Amino acid sequence: MVSDISRKRLSIGIVGGGIGGVAFAVALSRKPGLDVHLFEAAPRFSEIGAGVSFGPNAVRAIQLLGLERSYRRIADSSPAPYEDVWFEWRRWHDDAYLTASLAPGCGQSSVHRADFLDAIVANLPEGIAHFGKRCIEVRQDADGVEVAFEDGSRHRCDILVGFDGIKSAVRDHVLPPAQYGDLGPYWSGTYAYRGMIPAGQLEAAMAARGADTRLALVPQMYLGPDRHILSFPVKQSELINVVAFITDRSAPTPTLPEGEEWVNAVSQEEMLGVFEGWGAASQAILACIPEPTRWALHELPELPRYHCDRVLLVGDAAHAMVPHQGAGAGQALEDAHVLASLLTDEACTRKNAQQVLTAFEAVRHERTCRVQRTSHEAGDLYEYSAPDIGDDEEKVAFELETRFDWLWNHDPQDDVATARTRLGWEATSLTALA
């Protein structure tokens, strides 16, 4: 599979067809002069998981990517007068209110993952996506990159972007284990029990246990020692997405039992046992999930670099993180906007594409590593294990009121401007998604 790229300014290969990869491909496809191909290992576009939450920064990236209309059609938000609430925070054993984190103008903006991917895919022109393409090898030379797939096909391009997730096949090319050691995913120590509940069923269950039925529809986080539970609406508030976490802090580096799968179906009895003694709202929630799945949450270490010459890692391939700040998908979308803005600029050519990838890494690396680090730290805070805070609920509440501001207030357009300055591009040069 070798494209006729002789008339194109730049050819770009994308490995991975999740939310970030497809959003990136859509952004590239809107500008002439680029030869764009996306390769997905699965036979069709599909997403695993359930609800995904977006902070104000992620919604800003969605807007900049030109996907706001697609997003708004399916996005959920908290009911009035709680539309600015990201989460209300409550004590584990009696549901007592601690505080709320507010995201003015955004609140708990969330979608069902599969619905969001479908909405983005609707914007992707024919001929860009190729399925059944599992990457097995990447090679590059002075003139370009060649990627080989399990089905025997190959593709050559000027640059290759690895949007292929936490188990990235592209990562070993950028960071060869022989040189860098094992930089693959590791277990965070946290299990997450997941389930989806019809909203009406959860309201009735709350009422039956004497809990406030409002807690079914307004995003909630119940905090406790080594455990926490979250709930928020998806699919136009028809369903409530629930995740219940427990973390093993008995060892500095917990290890998953040998041979255990990352995702397993487990019994409701197991899940209820983990949260024995929790309050009425928590018990109502968990009792509505007869067949939970248990996810062993993995993350990546902070990688020393994201690119090698013409090959770049982005999204979860570069900075997979635990979900405690609802930030993983948002960082992938920020990556997509910044990178697309640079590559679609007419100042970018196949001659300077490597310098563009270097500039991208320079403006994104520190931020994404910080989001990884603070996402892990947020889990400690929620589970009464943060240094110098612990189970002091007054300190917990104070920290929760402002800890997300730096994350949410970021504008990826600033990253684009900084990268352009590094590249020496004139301010009047055509920018990508203006």
The pTM of the whole model exceeds 0.75? yes
pLDDT by 10s per residue, the chain, length 434:
444 444 689 999 999 999 999 999 999 999 988 999 999 999 999 877 677 888 999 999 999 999 999 998 888 877 788 889 999 999 999 999 999 999 888 888 888 888 899 999 999 999 999 999 999 999 999 999 999 999 999 999 999 999 999 999 999 999 999 999 999 999 999 999 999 999 999 999 999 999 999 999 999 999 999 999 999 988 888 999 999 999 999 988 999 999 999 999 999 999 999 999 999 999 999 999 999 999 999 999 999 999 999 999 999 999 999 999 999 999 999 999 999 999 999 999 999 999 999 999 999 999 999 999 999 999 999 999 999 999 999 999 999 999 999 999 999 999 999 999 999 997 544 444 44
Alpha-helical (H) ranges within 181-257 are 199-208
Q: How far apart are CA 19 and CA 335, in angstroms?
A: 12
Amino acid at 338: V
Identify which of 2, 14, 310 has the alpha carbon closest to the alpha carbon of residue 140: 310
DSSP 118-149: HHHHTTSPTTSEEES--EEEEEE-SS-EEEEE
Beta-carbon neighbour count of residue 370 at 10 Å? 14
CA neighbor of 318 nearest in space, from 279, 367, 281: 367
302 burial via Cβ count (<10 Å: 0-12, 13-18, 19+)? middle
φ, ψ of residue 34 to 5 degrees: the values are -120, 140
What pLDDT shows up at residue 106? 86
Residue 433 has a pLDDT of: 46
Residues with Cβ < 8 Å from 56, sequence gap 6 or more? 103, 105, 106, 408, 409
Q: Backbone phi, then psi, for 280, in 5-degree steps?
A: -60, -40
pLDDT at residue 426, rounded to an integer: 73
Nearest to 399 by CA among 411, 415, 382, 413: 382
Task: Residues 10-75+107-181+301-382+406-423: name the CATH superfamily.
Answer: FAD/NAD(P)-binding domain (3.50.50.60)
Please give the radius of gyration of the chain, using alpha carbons only, rounded to the nearest integer. Answer: 22
pLDDT given at position 427: 57
Q: Answer for the pair 328, 316: CB distance below 8 angstroms, yes or no.
A: yes
Structure tokens of 212? 């406030």
Residues 396/333, Cβ–Cβ less than 8 Å = no
Q: Is the backbone peptide bond immediately before 233 cis, with ω within 30 degrees of 0?
A: no
Residue 255 near residue 94, CB atoms below 8 Å: no
The rounded distance, in Å, linking the Cα atoms of 217 and 202 is 9
pLDDT reported for residue 129: 97
Tokens encoding 204: 């009735």
134 among known catalytic residues: no
pLDDT for res 79:
77
Q: Which of 60, 194, 227, 420 is catalytic?
A: 194
